[in-house]
Amino acid sequence: MVCPSLSGLAFFGLTPEHRMATYNQIHEIVFHGKGGYDWNTVYHMPVWLRNYIFSKIKDFYDEQNAQQQKQQTQPPPNTPRGPGVKSMKNYTGKPTYATKASTK
């Protein structure tokens, strides 16, 4: 006689949703680990270790993305400033006045 479980499954295993989440996590570790991990190793490692490695890789890439966003929002260091510069839209990097060289 088989005893039905409360979850509706007759065996202990991953549901399709959990299975896809696990496979996605393994893929992320292998892909973003840049060759440091192979699929079989990550699949068979303890869950706590896989979660730890995944969180460390995620933290690294989140920090990297934050730094890139910060650099994109900051103006370049040699951006002209002053009362005559209203926007960078029409700035060509060349002076708008004519100069003459001394003939002496």
Domain housing 33: 16-73
Give pLDDT tens digits for 45-103. 999 999 999 999 999 999 999 999 988 887 666 665 566 555 555 656 666 666 666 66
| pTM of structure | 0.57
> How many domains, the chain?
1
Is residue 54 a part of any domain in this protein? Answer: yes
Is residue 2 a part of any domain in this protein? Answer: no
What tokens were used for 57? 């890789």
Is residue 61 a part of any domain in this protein? Answer: yes
Residue 79 amino acid letter? T
Cα 37 from Cα 57, distance rounded (Å)? 12
Is residue 51 a part of any domain in this protein? Answer: yes
The distance in angstroms from the start CA to the end CA of the chain is: 112
Is residue 96 a part of any domain in this protein? Answer: no
Look at residue 43 and tell me whether its pLDDT is greater than 90.
yes
